[in-house]
Amino acid sequence: MPETPLVLGIETSCDETGIALVRGRTLLADAVASSVDEQARFGGVVPEVASRAHLEAFDATLDRAITEAGVSLVDIDAVAVTSGPGLVGALLVGVSAAEGLAIALDRPIYGVNHLAAHVAVDRLVHGDIPEPAIALLVSGGHSSLLRVDDVTLDVTPLGSTLDDAAGEAFDKVARLLGLPFPGGPHIDRAAADGDPDSIAFPRGLTSPRDDAEHRLDFSFSGLKTAVVRWLKARAEAGEPVPVPDVAAAFQEAVVDVLVSKALRACADEGIQTLVVGGGVAANSRLRAVLDARAEHLDVRIPPPRLCTDNGAMVAALGSALVERGRAPSAPGIGADSSMPVDRVIATGVHGGLPPGSAGIV
């Protein structure tokens, strides 16, 4: 294996078909095909639509990545693919294709954890992540705080959402305000003209009595309900909805909780590095508040394109795994829709998983 291996990364856990090539820490190509426009008709991600879209987009996206990188398939040293967590049918498209390629090319394959990949992508931008680090991952499917001692081996969950993910809350509130799916960017834009202090929306799980059990967990469903109630009262009073103000006040509540808990995790663990990832990391207010409140920390946020789901994150983790000499997955890695965050690499069915392991198909 060369010192700076050429790694193919494949991501199909949700609605983005992402295929990328990374050599060492250099991103050579990052091709993404999204089914978000098809999903918008339904106001959310329909798993069956996502799986079919991955199948349809896969070959062309792979061709695009290979051409953009100026390499051939035979140049690839290792294949990395998201094995979980995610939508099982969608994951299976990527995993099956990756296993086919790895067998045909006779190269090692790494089935990797999507969340660890969201963290690892930052090494392509800011260089290797100082470890230990705290990671705040916020997207449509996950909201987690992690302690990362080694992104290839040792990731510990510190907290997660008890109900809606942060991006899901953005999407649901956007829908209530009549804004298109996915709602995050629309709320972000609308909020720019609103007053974040105009409405006092609740900050979930931040009261002193939540401290013992849910110090680093999140909850956004109460916030969503508060928005519903506020809009209902407004409608009953026959008054128009000030969309920018509601968007700004809602966004402020989400951002306040995310930043407070991320800072708390860093302080609790005595860690100076905070890596932020996931689609919500594109939020302009989150970036501004982190700038202001976390200036004592080394805050690493990849550019928005690398925060949302993509193949580069998977290739970035794959290249770190190869560089650190981690053993690849055994054949038959499968898709693990509820892959636990502390399992960075899928073992593979011949790799000694206990019989009947939950979530392995």
Q: Applying CB under 6 A, which residues contact ligand KG4?
A: 14, 139-141, 167, 170-171, 182-185, 188, 278-280, 282-283, 308-309
Closer by beta carbon to ligand KG4, 6 or else 93: 93
Closer by beta carbon to ligand KG4, 66 or else 227: 227
- Smallest gap from residue 14 Cβ to ligand KG4 (A): 5
Closer by beta carbon to Zn ion, 90 or else 190: 90
Among Zn ion, ligand KG4, none, the one that 247 touches (CB under a kind-dependent 5 to 8 A) is: none
Closer by beta carbon to Zn ion, 243 or else 307: 307
- Distance from C-alpha of 190 to C-alpha of 203, rounded to nearest angstrom: 21
Going by C-alpha positions, the residue among 93, 89, 90, 82 that lies closest to residue 115 is: 82
Closer by beta carbon to ligand KG4, 4 or else 221: 221
Among ligand KG4, Zn ion, none, the one that 182 touches (CB under a kind-dependent 5 to 8 A) is: ligand KG4
Among ligand KG4, Zn ion, none, the one that 311 touches (CB under a kind-dependent 5 to 8 A) is: none
- Smallest gap from residue 171 Cβ to ligand KG4 (A): 5
Instruction: List beta partners, residue 28.
Output: none
Edge-first strand order for the sheet with 143-150 is 154-160, 143-150, 133-138, 273-277, 298-300
Among ligand KG4, Zn ion, none, the one that 218 touches (CB under a kind-dependent 5 to 8 A) is: none
Among Zn ion, ligand KG4, none, the one that 308 touches (CB under a kind-dependent 5 to 8 A) is: ligand KG4
Among Zn ion, ligand KG4, none, the one that 183 touches (CB under a kind-dependent 5 to 8 A) is: ligand KG4
- Distance from C-alpha of 199 to C-alpha of 201, rounded to nearest angstrom: 6
Which residue is it, tokens 């089935």?
Answer: 111
Residue type, 358: A
- Smallest gap from residue 85 Cβ to ligand KG4 (A): 10
Closer by beta carbon to ligand KG4, 279 or else 318: 279
- Smallest gap from residue 177 Cβ to ligand KG4 (A): 13
Going by C-alpha positions, the residue among 16, 108, 26 that lies closest to residue 58 is: 16
Question: 212-216 contacts: CB < 8 A, separation 24 or more?
Answer: 214/159, 214/162, 215/159, 215/264, 215/268, 216/145, 216/158, 216/159, 216/261, 216/264, 216/265, 216/268
Which residue is it, tokens 């959402």?
Answer: 161
